[in-house]
Amino acid sequence: MANTSVLYARIDTELKDNAEKILLLLGISPSSAIQMLYSQIVLQNGMPFDLKVPASKPVAIGGMTKEQLDAELTKGVASLKTGSFSADEVDSIMAEEFGL
């Protein structure tokens, strides 16, 4: 067996479970995923992804809390009822706010 060390880390249970479901689909063990991360840290001489403060506005539904999603959906339904935005106006707003 190769010269190995044991690594203990505490992480949120839900995060661990969700990540391990994805790793299973990819055919990668949690140990291999950690090995890959550490290898990339060494190769990149730092974290292998950008670390920055997240945008103040969520960019995906998955990044919203239930309350935030409910609020956004409520605003959307209200604007549909009043007809306050056309599709072109929505496209324009999305382009301006999110660069889409």
Task: Using alpha carbons, select from 97, 90, 100 the residue that is nearest to residue 57.
Answer: 97
Extents of the domains making up the chain? 1-52, 61-98
pTM (predicted TM-score): 0.52
Give 48-63 pLDDT, tens digit per residue.
988 877 666 656 777 7
Give 10-49 pLDDT, tens digit per residue.
999 999 999 999 999 999 999 999 999 999 999 999 999 8
Task: Using alpha carbons, select from 59, 53, 63, 52 the residue that is nearest to residue 94.
Answer: 59
